[in-house]
Amino acid sequence: MTEDEIWQVIHARRLGVAALLDDLAPGEWARPSLCASWTVRDVAAHLTMQQMTLRDELALLLRWRGGGMDRLTAGAARRRAAAREPAELTAEIRETAAARRHNAGVTCLETLADLLIHEQDIALALGRRRDMPPPAAAEVATRLLTMRFPPPLPSVRRVAGLRLVATDVAWTHGDGPSLEGPIAALLLTIAGRTAGQSELSGPGLSQVSTRP
């Protein structure tokens, strides 16, 4: 995919996330998402933080009290979730849907990864189905498996030594026992979610299921 195509998908997925959030009942905002220890509201708040400037990020770092970047990011999302009403979060995602600016220090692929994965964190936790565009999911999967900076997600170790094979788009990665299935299910597994594993098959599945 070209960078322009990636931004077009980002635009569409932001509008899709906003539509999903519009449909939530009040009580669903407080439900746990698939992202460990994050509520649906926390995840939505996090998705309003995709265009932070270097100054914004430095201000965030000033609040860091240790515990790793995941803790820092989660704390920022929770503060924003507490400071805004659900409708405000939804409106902010929709209003910035077409913006072509990403956070300092990352690429547009990290922005797309956040959207594809966190949309599923919300939808699947609430029993809703949101289809991922396979070519975009394949781009993100490749990025997560090959990135060196920012550091790769710890969860990619779960698929180390396996040959990943998508069944709905021309995409493979790695060598070893095969793990096959829709690219969306593979991407969720790469990102440390177990929700898509029922759609996967192959000799590599037993290894994925038992790895931390």
What is the per-residue DSSP string for 119-158? HHHHHHHTT---PPPHHHHHHHHHHHHH--SSPPPGGGGG
Is 138:51 a contact under the CB 8 Å cutoff?
no
Complete domains list, the chain, with CATH: 3-125 (1.20.120), 134-210 (3.30.1050)
- Percent of the chain with pLDDT strictly greater than 90: 81
Q: What is the residue whose two structure tokens read 């493979």? A: 172
pLDDT in tens, 167-211: 999 999 999 999 999 999 999 999 999 999 999 999 999 999 888
Structural Rg of the chain based on CA atoms? 17
Find out whether the peptide bond into 133 is cis, omega within 30 degrees of 0.
no
Cα(153)–Cα(145) distance, integer angstroms: 9
For residue 27, pLDDT beyond 90 = yes
* Inter-CA distances, 34 with 37, 125, 131, 134, Å: 8, 6, 16, 21
Q: What pTM was computed for the model? A: 0.92
* Inter-CA distances, 197 with 44, 60, 83, 131, 206, Å: 24, 35, 35, 16, 10
How many other C-beta atoms are found inside a 10 Å radius of the C-beta of residue 46?
Answer: 23
Q: What is the residue whose two structure tokens read 């969720």? A: 188
What one-letter code names the amino acid at 207? Q
pLDDT in tens, 92-150: 999 999 999 998 889 999 999 999 999 999 999 999 999 999 999 999 999 999 998 88
